[in-house]
């Protein structure tokens, strides 16, 4: 009986992956003001998938940009699975002034 349960659960999980997913994108900076000698964290979060690679980021005027790595999250609540990946970048200012970061747009698998 346990084998049938595990096979049924595996089928449900596999079949849920086959459906098209909606991917939501959000960008956030951990602070509004960055002083010389400090850094800020830029997070690019993709909700709906964990297999989205880190986007190729263009140079941002006035900053050095360092990729810090991904952070993934998966949860199942009341039978509904949700997942996300957050790509984290560290921004280091090169000079003083006011700079705009963004807007961002990302294309994944032609969508």
pLDDT 10s digits, 8-30: 444 444 444 444 568 898 999 99
Q: Is residue 15, in this structure, part of any structural domain at all?
A: no
Q: Can you give the residue range of the structural domain that contains 80?
A: 22-93
Give the phi and the psi of residue 80 in degrees, each rounded to 5.
-105, 125
Is the residue at 8 inside a domain?
no
> Does residue 53 lie within any of the structural domains?
yes
Q: In the structure, what pLDDT confidence band is assigned to residue 91 with cuts at 50, 70 and 90? A: very high
Domain presence at residue 17: no
Does the residue 87 lie in any domain?
yes
Q: Is residue 107 part of a domain?
A: no
**pTM of this structure:** 0.72
Which of 110, 92, 105 lies closest to 46, judged by CA? 105
Q: Does residue 103 sit within a domain?
A: no
Q: What domain count does the chain have?
A: 1
Q: Residue 104 domain-assigned?
A: no
């Amino acid at each position: 009986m346990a084998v049938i349960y595990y096979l049924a659960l595996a089928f449900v999980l596999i079949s849920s992956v086959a459906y098209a997913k909606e991917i939501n994108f959000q960008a956030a900076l951990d602070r509004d003001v960055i002083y010389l000698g400090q850094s800020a964290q830029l997070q690019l979060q993709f909700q709906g998938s964990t297999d989205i690679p880190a986007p190729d980021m263009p140079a941002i005027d006035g900053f050095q940009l360092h990729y810090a790595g991904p952070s993934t999250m998966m949860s199942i609540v009341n039978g509904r699975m949700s997942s996300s990946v957050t790509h984290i970048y560290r921004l280091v200012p090169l000079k003083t002034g006011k700079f705009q970061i963004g807007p961002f747009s990302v294309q994944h698998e032609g969508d």
